[in-house]
Structure formats: structure tokens, C-alpha cells
Chains A and B, each alone.
Chain A
Amino acid sequence: MNIVKWQRPTLANWSGFGRLSDLRDEIDRLFDSPLSELTKTSDLLAGWTPALDVYEDKDNYTVKAELPGMKKEDIEVSLHEGVLSISGERKSETEKEDTEVFRAERFVGRFQRTVTLPASVAADKVKAAYKDGVLTITLPKTEEAKPKQIDVAVN
């Protein structure tokens, strides 16, 4: 199992700067925040790395990724030489005209995660479903990747 490291987003596509430009406000916010808030991992350094789960049973690999608030057409799923790649872009839903922002924790921008599958899968049978902000990808194993029962004759 091999999870490829996230790529650091460039400042150009990181939307936080415009919104938190007032340093004093930001410091005020820090002092107002309870401790649980401060221990949250900062998106400032990490970009957006959607949480992933990978499961295996005898027939399938199943990958689940948390991608809340996406449009189906903004999610790209590809499979190339046993590496599954999930990428896309989340856009902001809210008109920012005449609004004051108190909190902006939800990440906006591009993300990518890749998973190297441990065994071969039938690329033409891969299915993906997106529901309640969770992307579920089912990857059926090829026949040769499935565990086989071998009967041993005992004389």
C-alpha cells in the first residue's frame, strides 16, 4: 500500500491570503479560539488532502474519499498501471460580495490523492459513486489476483 505524498499547493491557488489579510484580525481570532481550534491541523501548510479509506475483500478493492461539496463533474478518477488517482477542484459556493468573513476553514482549490493497488484490477469494471460528499470507488480484482482454493489430495 503506497500513498503518494500530497503536493504543496502554490500560493497563487491558495485562497486564504485574500481572506485573512488583516493580521490583527487573525491574531484576535486566535485568542478568541478555544484550544481545540488551535490544535486543528492548519490548512495553510497542508493544502487539502482529503481523507481516504482503502478496503479489500476477496473480490474487490474499495476506496472511499471524503470530498464534501463537490460537483460530480469536478471530480476526476483515473487508473493507470495499477495506480488509482483521484483529483479535482473544489470551488467556493458563497458569493463573497458585501460579506464579512468570520471563519474560513473549508478548503477551496485543487487536490490529488493516489493509491497504488496491491494487485491487478479489471480496469473496465471499475465503478465510482458520489453520495453525501463521499466518493466510493469499487475496483474488482482480476481473476488471477483473486485468492484461489487449491484442493490437496491426501492419499
Chain B
Amino acid sequence: MKALFKKDSAPPAPAPAETIRYVMPDVNVYENKEGYVIEADMPGVSKDGLEITLANNEITLIGHQTDAVVPGTALYRQRQGLGYRRVFELDPVVDPNRITARMHQGVLFLSLPKSEAVKPRKIVVSE
């Protein structure tokens, strides 16, 4: 296991004014030469329902469902209708100033580039 994910957990946040219950979104996490990629399934969450915060080398992903409420009675319910929350500890090599996020059809794509200093560089040997 690498340093990035020594800790990956989503303890329920201390309740704010009103209690929101969260579930953990399914994620894929990859590392490549450039950095890390996190993909998180958050169906029903639009760009506006997304909160990403960075503190103490931890990145917190929160998504609130914003899809419209359907009139009528529910005959069958499986969708949780809750928020999504998941926390990752960042590898120190990640450059916090270059983290970018985009939302596409309920999937969050988070790109966490490594800082230039730690990327492997080819040293050209002079004659």
C-alpha cells in the first residue's frame, strides 16, 4: 500500500445544523506518472452539489443530490437520497494547487498531479 491511501474513510461528519446522512460513493483510484486520479460515482449530484475541501493533507469529497423530487407516492425505493462523502489522505507528492475536478453525468473525476519536483526526470549526460 502506498502512502496516498493509508487512510481512506468516511466517518460521519459531526452534525451541522441539520443532520445529513452520508453514504460512501464507489471510487476508482489510479496512479500514473503524472499523478493520481480519483473517480467517484455520485448519481444525482450536479456540479453545484459538489463540495471538495482540502485540509491537513486530507481531501474530502462531498456530493449532495440535486435531482428533482418526483410527485406521487413511492411504490418501490432503493435510491438512498442521501449525500455522498469520502475522505482520502493525500500523498505528500501531490501538488495541492493543481488539483482539478470535473463532474460528468454523476461521476466526479478528480485529477491530483504530482509536483514537478518529484517527477522522474531524464538527466542528459554530456560528453
Contact = CB atoms under 8 A, between A and B. Distances in A.
B72 A132 contact: no
B5 to A, nearest CB: 6
B24 interface: yes
Contact of A106 (B1, B24, B39, B104): B39
A132 B41 CA distance: 10
Interface string B102-120: 0111110100000000000
Interface residues of A, number: 48
Most buried by B among A34, A51, A69: A69
Given A57-B73, A66-B44, A99 B9 contact: no
B122 interface: no
B30 A101 contact: yes
A54 B106 contact: no
Contacts, number: 145
Given A132-B46, A134-B44, A102 B5 contact: yes
23 contacts: A29-B1, A34-B8, A36-B9, A51-B79, A53-B70, A56-B72, A61-B75, A64-B67, A64-B70, A67-B106, A68-B105, A69-B107, A98-B32, A99-B32, A100-B31, A102-B2, A104-B28, A105-B26, A105-B28, A118-B75, A133-B42, A133-B107, A136-B70
Interface of B: 1-2, 4-6, 8-10, 24, 26-33, 37, 39, 41-46, 66-67, 70-80, 103-107, 109
